[in-house]
Amino acid sequence: MPAPRTVLLTGAAGGVGTLMRDLLPPYGYDLRLFDARPVPAGPGAQGAVTADLADRDALRAAVHGVDAILHLAGISGESTFERILRANIEGTYHLYEAAREEGVRRIVFASSNHAVGFTPRPLGGDPLIPVDTPRRPDTYYGLSKCFGEDLAQLYADRYGIDTVSVRIGACFPRPRTVRMLSVWLSPADGARLFHAALTADVTGHTVVYGSSANTRLWWDLGPARALGYRPRDDSEPFAAALVAEQGELDPADPAHANLGGAFCTDPPVRRP
Ligand code: 15L
């Protein structure tokens, strides 16, 4: 696929979007920014579109003429089903419809490890979790990521829109918990991975895990490497301090037993 130049970044004011606003332009992208909240001043902010994904006209105008879309928008943790339905499930549907109408051929979808959050984490000697492990969402949030992956498959089969779904681990400047030592995606590696996903010569729907090359890795990074991703970071330098503060993960603790960590055990968020 020819390298996309103009890329629509949805969720540009969010956590990962804010990091990518700075990190992706050096790869040669001209980012068009989209978010329901105003994008704070900075590169590209002047032309940013402030609109909801449900605003079909605004979304279609934003998608018009772009070469690819990096879809980060949505609620990034558990919430009520109603809020997840609107922001993540319907929002992603609106995005794919706009892409179909405007003829965009490549989408990179921010999926999440929480699509498979109830998968037991590997213990010493266990194989790494493969990308085709059965879906086991740990929350409505994780369920919305399963939906997004299936929507991507539908639009690939039916309309020829190619998607790379990146099951992101935890993309923060530094890991915050002992669990994150296994799933951390450094921002710089995040930009490397999104760049690979935007440019890889793949068709159809491809699912990969998104993390750095962590010593304590739980999943198979092979499919991401097959896109050309070459991670350079490892969370291990942060390990001693985090373990001293929080202790090692306890396999007998249900909040430590699965990939999704406490997402699997936190009380459900119920509608009021
Ligand atoms: C996610 O999907 C969330 O968006 C992020 O905030 C982190 O909590 C991360 O997962 C995680 O698994 O730690």
111 CB less than 6 Å from ligand 1?
Answer: no
Q: Domain limits at 81?
A: 6-264
The yes-or-no answer on residue 229 being catalytic is no
pLDDT of residue 46: 83
CATH code for position 249 = 3.40.50.720
CA of 183 from ligand 1 middle (Å) equals 9
Tell me how far apart the alpha carbons of residues 143 and 216 are, in angstroms, rounded to a whole number. Answer: 26
Within-domain flag for 1: no
141 CA distance to ligand 1 middle (Å): 10
- What's residue 125's pLDDT? 87
Answer whether residue 42 is part of any domain.
yes
- How many angstroms separate the alpha carbon of residue 170 from the centre of ligand 1? 5
Tokens of 176: 């915050």
In a domain, 67, yes or no: yes
In a domain, 270, yes or no: no
DSSP state of 208: E
Flag residues of the chain having pLDDT under 70.
1-2
In angstroms, the CA 8 to CA 30 distance is: 9
**pLDDT at position 43:** 79
Question: Does a structural domain hold residue 149?
Answer: yes
For ligand 1, whether the C-beta of 183 sits within 6 Å is yes
Q: Would 239 be classed as within a structural domain?
A: yes
Residues in Cβ contact with 199 at an 8 Å cutoff, skipping those fewer than 6 apart: 1, 3, 4, 228
The pair of structure tokens assigned to 104 is 């965009």
The closest alpha carbon to 78, from 230, 228, 267, 217, belongs to 267
End-to-end Cα distance, the chain? 47
CB 28, CB 6: distance < 8 Å: no
CA distance 47 to 33: 7
Per-residue pLDDT reduced to its tens digit, 190-243: 999 999 999 999 999 999 999 999 999 999 999 999 999 999 999 999 999 999
Q: What pLDDT shows up at residue 41?
A: 87
How many structural domains is the chain composed of?
1
Query: Domain for residue 139, yes or no?
Result: yes
What is the C-alpha to C-alpha distance for residues 208 and 109, in angstroms, rounded to an integer? 11
> What's the pTM value of the predicted model, to 2 decimals?
0.97
Does residue 269 sit within a domain? no
pLDDT value at residue 44: 77
pLDDT at 158: 98
